[in-house]
Structure 1
Amino acid sequence: MDWFRTLLIVAVAVLGWNIIFQWNQDYGQSNDATASEVNNPQDIQVGHNDALKPQVADSINSSLVPQSEKTEVSAPVVTQNEPKIIQVSTDIYDIEIDLNGGDLVRLALKQYPRSVENPDDPFVMLVNNSNAKYIAESGIIGASSFDLDASAEQGRPVFKAAQDSYTMSDNSLVIPLEYTNAAGVTFEKRYIFNKDSYQIQVEYEITNDGNSNWLGRPYSRLRRTGFKDPSTGGGFGLPTFLGVAYWDPEEKFTKVKFSDLEDKGTRSAYLNTTMEGGWIGILQHYFVVAWTPAENETNLYRASYNENMKVPGGQEYIADAVQQQITVKPGETVTTSQSMYAGPKLQERLKEAAHGLNLSVDYGPLFFISDLLMAVMKTIHKFIGNWGFSIILLTLFIKALLFPLAAKGYRSMAKMREMQPKMVELKKKHGEDRQKMSQELMKLYQKEGVNPLGGCLPMLLQMPIFLALYWALLESVELRQAPFILWIQDLSIMDPYFILPLLMGASMYFQQRLNPEPPDPMQAKVMKFMPIAMTFLFLFFPSGLVLYWFTNNVLSIAQQAYITKKVQKGA
């Protein structure tokens, strides 16, 4: 029992260590811009010197040539003109739209502060400045589309807007942008925002007053340079996934690291597939931006990497969806639409936006346990309104639920403690003969009716719950900047004063004192060292997770002390 219990504790420590450092290798990005540079409100103004100027023909070819004939993906066509910005304010967004192309070049979330220290500064998702570029681009490509209009020298249309700024006053807000090409085709691009919704609709109304058919393919694209995820900062070595993700109705949810796009090579498609339904986006910690076409719509989805020295850092990652070609005959008006989700990874909202988008909240291999734990915590939170106390009550609920099984383990440990004098005698008698010692110990266990592995049961029960809760706390935006009490003002990051980890280490030490000391001296030394090692490990864990483990230890001590007294009384 002792060696197995020691092995379990070491496994928890090693697993935790790997969680910290291996994930840093897997998902940590080598970035040029820092989080503060990206999310500093003073740096969010759109720059004048960061526009891309690739050849128009490259964009035509990569967009219109069938997948079977061509897999190269070129950088998008972008205006060379100075940015012409209109401001948009809704109940949840602060947005900037560049009339050169009509793209979203800045999007800030009003209900999600940049940091606890800066509650009035909204978190910025989309950004376009000298340090970083992350924009949501949309348009229409094709032989006669406006993005390739010969009269537009910059390669993108320059839209007109009736106002310089728009503010939501009702349940919805429509931003109309208009452009007419030399052939007499008028395009009205409309952004539609609904109150308390993170879904953004982009509509095109195309009116052909010319003399020939108009052909084009609507596209939607995310372009991001390799700056650091500004929403990550929970503690040393705790990065989360940053990269492209897409949903294929057949292959389901897939994540692609930016490094994988780089390995494919510049302007070559890692993903280049046509499918009905689905979505594509870029994930970061707590937040997601994704283009979400209709489920009955067929799109060409692509993900690629592009080396371009004219963008911050000299590199950008591209995720886009290209719709089927539409034809507008002379005298006709055709409307087409695209939709985008831009906001926090709230599972209920994600499910409403697109099928499978809720999987962007990735709880890892134990997701079924994480989902259950979060459902219980959300229910508790509705009544008490504090996520810290929700974690404590969740721990109470788990301990009560598992107590009948854990009690067997505690009884086994209590009996082992009573057997300690007999085990010491056996050690004195057969200490040099390990085989004989093991045989005599097994006989003693059988005689006393003790299962040597029974004491490991409580820890075995805790391990999957601990790991599932780790992912739940790390991935759930509900815990972002969630205060507890006193000095803990953000349960998603490590304790700034290390008080909780020290309390956790002390509780682990006292819990260890209730257990019988292993007969093997080396095992005994390892066990005595474990509280120190675990304390060091937990210094960098989210304080919400440390709170769970500390509460779990305190309850385990109480349960074990109760069972031990009953065993000693012969109950």
Structure 2
Amino acid sequence: MDRNSITGLILITLVLIGFWFINKPDAEQIEAMRRQRDSLYQVELAKQQEELARAAQIAAEAAQLDSISIEDDSLATDLRLQKFGQLWPYVEGEESFYNLENEKIKLVLTNKGARIYSVELKEYKTHDGKPLILFDGDANVFGFPFSHDTKVFHTSDLYFNKVSQNDSTIVFEIAGNAGETMQFSYTLPADEYMVDFDINTKNLGQFISTSRGTMDLNWYVEMPAFEKGRQMEQMYSGMYYKYYLDEVDNLKANKDKSENLRTKVKWIAFKGQFFSSVLIADDAFSGAYVESRFEKDKNSPYLLYNRTEAAVPFELAKDQQLGFSFYFGPNRFYTLDKYDKELELNKLIPLGWGIFGWINRYAVIPTFNFLEGFIGSYGIIILILTILIKLVLFPLTYKSYISAAKMKVLKPQIDEINAKIPAEKAMERQQATMNLYKKAGVNPMGGCVPILLQMPILIAMFRFFPASIELRQESFLWAKDLSTYDSILDLPFSIPFYGAHVSLFTLLMAVTNILYTKMNSEMTQTSNQMPGMKAMMYMMPIMFLFLFNSYASGLSYYYFISTLITILQTMVIRRWVDDKKLLLQIQANQKKPVKKSKFAARLEQMAKQQQQIQKNQRKR
């Protein structure tokens, strides 16, 4: 790296530092932002306290009525009717639990709130062998608020009656004295992750009321951690939603965020790294508020806290059946893809945008699943997949090597040009070098283009492995779980940006990248500016060592095998390609007449203009 380049980097750094200081908020701005955060927190706190106070008031009033003796039963009934209207039989009661179960999931439902109390995925376990329960108990709140007899109630606080149950369906109900009914019905089909949920109403026009003519479904879930790699699990967890007849979007991961969705929404998902809970409307939600808060305490059993308030068009004057579905299951591509294509549930898996997603969807995943059908070891599957990819990319690898080899044999002539033409005449030196490349039939970008063409596959793999549930809890060699990091040594301390463990696959990947960098640098030394670039190239494997230490070991293993195969391919090509014959071919090309391209002509013209300007300056 020459002096001008170093000076440029220093100036850019100073500009960035200056820009940061200029735009750094002053003490008054910091205090204003703090007050704004505090005010938002106070509003949220007040809202939570109001809800708690409402529930406590209802409980206290119910307890007060319970203290009335049995002899005064008719008086108690009158008081309950006065306090809670016709809903008084549902304000207090005994919580009961009911099960719906198939081959894949087990639902526990409760009559309090007529809601799903917990969900267990029977085919999966947590990283430490415990049952995998998506949510449980009070860590899940579901229902909607409404008004009755001038009082505000929430379905989650009421004790519904169970009116029917069979092997696949259970129905809860609240009823009034004049035939008013509201039923919550849950159906779990055999061998399915999808649960049908219906709200049926009858004669509710004079019984209850809701704000804005909509039903605001409230859903809150505290999402527990299931995986060993908490950092990666949290990175790939969040809140996803699909706009009606439009694209899938999400709240940015790894930060607290909320969003008001002011248009129709088809579904809302509380997404984990490998498992999701999705609420799907048969028609559409007319809008929604979504919020995701991340747990900062690394020792907490929870990763994040998701909440939504989804507005459902609701006409109380009519008898209605509002249809919904819950998906409780794995983020497996083909499992999600089998549902209605318009739902696009498979986009819960972050396979990348544009060409990166296409490569994963239409090449990597089909090949991976094909191999999965008759090979039991996922380490072997990754090895075969890597070999197939390297075979497809071999023509590009070969072309890149030949281009580098041509540059290498031209190095003495380039050094001779640099020795004849001083550095001050940069344009003239560049023109002479380009003329040499043109006569020799060498494209200086020939080695870069093949590498750039391979980048989409490398990036696609970077997105595929951490999101692939197929690798979850699959062992290979010393790695117990290819979906998270492999640790051969747990450190008693944490190294910044590295972690508190040592990943062997990451070490092997870094070592092979250093070896490949060394081989590549020997092929591409063409000028005295390369040593600085060479140092930067050696820094990349060191950066990867820190970056990938906590990533999926399957990804590090893939990059390790991929780089190792590239080294072997390079060694084979090196024995196959004769540098002397290549030089003779270049020398033969140099003897042929060369037609100047428009680009070369422009460079020559610019060089002549530069020389003329320098002559004029000397005369002055």
Partner residue, 2:443: 451
- Closer, same or farther: CA 552–399 of 1 in aligned 2, 3 Å: same
Partner residue, 2:123: 111
Query: What TM-score does the superposition give when structure 1 sets the normalisation length?
Result: 0.69
Structure with more of its chain in helix, by fraction:
2
Q: CA deviation at 1:447?
A: 3.8
Partner residue, 1:158: 159
Question: Larger Rg: 1 or 2?
Answer: 2
**Conserved? CA contact 2:100–2:168, under 8 Å:** no
* 1:355-403 C-alpha deviation (Å, 9 max, x unpaired): 2222222323232222122222222222213333222222222222222
**Conserved? CA contact 2:94–2:159, under 8 Å:** no
User: How far apart, in 1, do the equivalents of 2:304 and 2:463 lie?
Assistant: 33
Q: Which of 188, 194, 197 pairs up with 1:199?
A: 194
Partner residue, 1:363: 351
**Does residue 286 of the first structure (1) align with residue 274 of the second (2)?**
yes
Q: CA deviation at 1:530?
A: 3.5
Q: Which amino acid aligns with 1:512?
A: T
Q: CA deviation at 1:199?
A: 0.6
User: How far apart, in 1, do the equivalents of 2:151 and 2:133 lie?
Assistant: 35
Q: Which amino acid aligns with 1:356?
A: E
Q: Which amino acid aligns with 2:197?
A: V
**Conserved? CA contact 1:387–1:482, under 8 Å:** yes
Aligned residue pairs, count: 466
**Conserved? CA contact 2:173–2:182, under 8 Å:** yes
- Closer, same or farther: CA 50–197 of 1 in aligned 2, 3 Å: farther
User: How far apart, in 1, do the equivalents of 2:554 and 2:416 lie?
Assistant: 45
Q: CA deviation at 1:99?
A: 1.3
Partner residue, 2:137: 128
User: How far apart, in 1, do the equivalents of 2:131 and 2:52 lie?
Assistant: 31
Partner residue, 2:220: 223
**Does residue 318 of the first structure (1) align with residue 308 of the second (2)?**
yes
User: How far apart, in 2, do the equivalents of 1:314 and 1:529 lie?
Assistant: 35
User: How far apart, in 1, do the equivalents of 2:347 and 2:266 lie?
Assistant: 12
**Conserved? CA contact 1:201–1:339, under 8 Å:** yes
- Closer, same or farther: CA 90–218 of 1 in aligned 2, 3 Å: farther
**Conserved? CA contact 1:109–1:125, under 8 Å:** yes
Q: CA deviation at 1:551?
A: 1.8
Q: Secondary structure at the match of 1:341?
A: strand
* 1:125-148 C-alpha deviation (Å, 9 max, x unpaired): 12335xxx234x246x6566xxx8
When structure 1 is superposed on structure 2, of 352-361 and 339-348 the one drifting more is 352-361
User: How far apart, in 1, do the equivalents of 2:241 and 2:92 lie?
Assistant: 31
User: How far apart, in 2, do the equivalents of 1:351 and 1:424 lie?
Assistant: 58
When structure 1 is superposed on structure 2, of 474-483 and 249-258 the one drifting more is 249-258
Q: What is the RMSD of the two structures over their aligned residues, measured on CA atoms?
A: 4.2
User: How far apart, in 2, do the equivalents of 1:291 and 1:83 lie?
Assistant: 25
Structure 2 regions of 5+ residues with no counterpart? Answer: 3-47, 56-89, 294-301, 489-502, 583-620
**Conserved? CA contact 1:159–1:177, under 8 Å:** yes
* 1:451-503 C-alpha deviation (Å, 9 max, x unpaired): 222122342122211111111222232333333x2211222212323221222
Q: Which amino acid aligns with 1:550?
A: F
* 1:99-139 C-alpha deviation (Å, 9 max, x unpaired): 11111132121212111xx23x122212335xxx234x246
Partner residue, 1:507: 512
**Conserved? CA contact 1:351–1:358, under 8 Å:** yes
**Does residue 100 of the first structure (1) align with residue 100 of the second (2)?**
no
* 1:217-246 C-alpha deviation (Å, 9 max, x unpaired): 766442135x6x625654756743544332
**Conserved? CA contact 1:53–1:80, under 8 Å:** no
Q: Secondary structure at the match of 2:451?
A: helix
User: How far apart, in 1, do the equivalents of 2:243 and 2:109 lie?
Assistant: 30
- Closer, same or farther: CA 231–467 of 1 in aligned 2, 3 Å: farther
Partner residue, 2:261: 271
Alignment identity in percent? Answer: 24
Query: What TM-score does the superposition give when structure 2 sets the normalisation length?
Result: 0.64
Partner residue, 2:535: 525
Partner residue, 1:547: 557
* 1:405-444 correspondence runs (5 A): 405-424=396-415, 435=426, 437-444=429-436
**Conserved? CA contact 1:282–1:319, under 8 Å:** no
Q: Which of 467, 471, 494 pairs up with 2:459?
A: 467
Structure 1 regions of 5+ residues with no counterpart? Answer: 4-48, 57-77, 265-269
User: How far apart, in 2, do the equivalents of 1:314 and 1:358 lie?
Assistant: 22
* 1:380-399 correspondence runs (5 A): 380-399=371-390
- Closer, same or farther: CA 82–415 of 1 in aligned 2, 3 Å: farther
Q: Which amino acid aligns with 2:159?
A: V
* 1:172-251 correspondence runs (5 A): 173-205=168-200, 220-224=217-221, 230-231=225-226, 234=229, 239-251=234-246
